[in-house]
Structure formats: C-alpha cells, structure tokens
Structure 1
Amino acid sequence: MSRLALAAALLAAGGVVGCTAVQGSAGAPPDEPSEAIPLPSSGELEPGTYLVTGYAVPFEITVPDGWESFGWGVLKANAEEWEVFVNFLEPDRVATDGCAWRGTLVEIEPTPEAYAAAMAAQTSTETTSPVEITMGEYVGLEFQYSVEEDVDITECTVDHICLFANVGDSDCGRVYSEVTEQETERIIDLEGQLTMFAVGEFQPVDPSLTDEAQAVFDSITFVSD
C-alpha cells in the first residue's frame, strides 16, 4: 500500500498469566528534569528522546535514525511504504466485529481487563491471552492482536479493519488498511485514564526492524512533573 493511502488510514483514525516488568518504563527521579524535545505532530525525527504530553502522565520515547512522527505515534518507512510503528491512544469503545464494524462500537469499562476482554471477543480478529505487565509504577496487560487469515478487507466496512474508537472520536478512530497489519498492545490505567501503547508492523518486515521497533516501544518512560 502507498504511503498516501496509509496516511489516509491513520487520519481516519483469555486468562492472565505471570507479571512482566517492561524495561525503560520507570518514572524519572523528580530531581532530574527532562531534557527531552517535545514530540512534533508530524515530520522526520532526529535520533534522540522526545517528550509526549496530552496524556494523564507525560512520557518520553527514544528513537534512532530514520523515524518520523504522526502525532499519536512514531513510525519508520522505506522509500515506498511505512513498515513499523509505535503508537499511544485512549480507547473507550471497541467494535464487536472488526470487519463489519459500522454500528458495532460498544462502550467499555475503563479497565485493562475489560478492554482486553472486548478485544478478545471481537470477531474477524484474534488476540493472544493477556499477560500482566508493569510500566513503571503502573500495572496492566499485554497481548498480541492480528486479523484472521480468511478476512477479505474489501468486504469490510469502507475497506478497513476497526480496532476501537479513541476518546473523542465520533466513529472508529483506530483502523487497519491491510490484513497484514498486526501489533502488540500494552493497556494500563494511567491515573484513571485507560491508555494503550502499541508496537506493530504494517507488513512483514526484516527481524532487525522488528527488534528496532521493539526497542523504541520499550524506551517509553513516564516522567515526573
């Protein structure tokens, strides 16, 4: 898919086992003020650490060379297409059917458990069993999300898979434009606000790029005021 088409898509936009501490997610000490640059709403990024605000708790994210911002996340692309991404959103409604999703968005209780259960119950997509994780002082759940193999996206509502609606969205705000897209989500209660962090691929990529995206994902660190 072309970068223009993917841009349009972005703008449209089980039991619990164990507990895993996520690297890089502890809050910075109060006596060490952040020197991170505010994450711009769009454009290419210089390698470095960026401050993300507008959420219940601000956080930093570190990117290497070749990444760009799209406001509610960062991504890396080749000359033709976007390849991998890390994003952050605040879901409040989940589609009961990820393909035929028009009119199926239902409000969820703002807890990681309720969100994970709704995503697992969503038809046309599949998730792994959620695993308990910690991000700094916050406890949440992590699971993998993908589209079922037999789904024909051209038969889906407006040729998109709907994951969920973000707070403030009038319709589905988080969509896939290709059935090859997939992601790992971490969902936490961030000071009373349900917040989702994800790392994923627009298409199958080289394992080294998967590792690079995972490192960016793991760099997310909550900071003190």
Structure 2
Amino acid sequence: MFRLSHLSSPAIAFALLLTVTACQRIGHSAEPAVAIPPPAVDEPLATSTTETAVFAGGCFWGVQGVFQHVKGVSKAVSGYAGGGGGAHYQDVGTGNTGHAESVEVTFDPHQVTYGQLLQIYFSVAHDPTQFNRQGPDVGPQYRSTIFAANDTQKNVAAEYIAQLDKSGAYARPIVTTIETGKAFYPAERYHQDYLTLHPTEPYIAINDLPKVENLKRLFPERWREQPALVYAR
C-alpha cells in the first residue's frame, strides 16, 4: 500500500506531485447536491444477483467513496475507462488518452437498481452540468460519462438524462455523455479506498466528504455506515 510515511522527503515530494496529476489540490468547495426524482424508466427485475455499472464524474476518489456507502453495493473500484489499451494515471492525467477517471460499481440489483444508482450519481456523486471538469479538476479525464455495459443500461441512462433536463432540476443543461463498448481498467492500488484512508486530507475534506454526507442526508434508505472497501482493513 502506498503510504507517504514510508518514503524519504524527496520521495514524498515526488509522490505528491504525481498524485496531483490524478486529482488536483486546489481550494474549492464540493459540487452542491441536487434533490432529484428517481428515474421513470429503470431496468427490468434482474434474475442475477450481481451486475456492474461504470460511472465517471471527476476525481474517482469521491465517486468511489460515495458508492462504497450505498446498500447493495459489494465493491466500487477506482479506475479508468473510455480510451484504448491499458491505462496508467500518469498518462491519463495528461488528458490525451481518451480515458476518464471512473468507478466500476458491483451491485445486487435486488437491493439497489441501476436506476437508483443513476439517481445517486446525478444527485450527490458529481455535478452533471460541468463539461470536462469537476470543481478544481479540469480536463477530459474528469468528464461526466456513463459507460453503459449493454443496451438496457444505455437506454435507462438516456431516458433519465432526458427526464432530468425536462424537469428543470438543474440551472444548466446536463452534459453527461453515454459511451458503450469501453473496457474498464482498475487504478493503481494506492488510489483504492482513498477517501476512507485519508479523510483529513484537505482535498478529501473539502471536495469529497460533503458528497458522502449528502448521500446520507438525501438517501437515508440507501445509506450504509460501513463502506464496501476494495481491500480489507
């Protein structure tokens, strides 16, 4: 596990510089949560107990942290999607790979549906009206994108975006895109469970912890106190 306490002073400086590439450390407040209606169209009742969904909405630390606290989610993994070939954070941070920082959510559709995950994604996990950025993080690697696993997910997401735009829930149009046929690549281990491991880090405290609190406040029926971590502690 990547821990700054294990490094020398020059190594710490270098490590911090690399981490900035993934999620910049600029003073900013978290994107405000928006109370929105659930989707009018959702997936049909599933026969399986496991499904995956991939969402991109800015720095993956906060998006992962939100979904790790959702009932019915068994795993939420930070990673990259949208580009070709493999992915490494140094390259993704340039904004030239086509990848976006993303989170792959594994969930039980009998406990939480895909549409309910979309509601959380649009409401508290990020601001879907920001184009190629989220708060302090700027570039296509921070874009708002749903990586649909199949036509059903694609159609549910498209219907919900249209529903939300028509509802006037947001002051600006939703810019979230839907991409299909894109592989997901897990991020490096030190990016996993980052919010849980570093709750007092300024970036996390300012940008991401409010999202988790908004999840608890706006979706108490979906809230789980203990996060579904990638690595057991």
TM-score of the pair, normalised by structure 2: 0.24
Which structure shows the higher helix fraction?
2
Which structure shows the higher strand fraction?
1
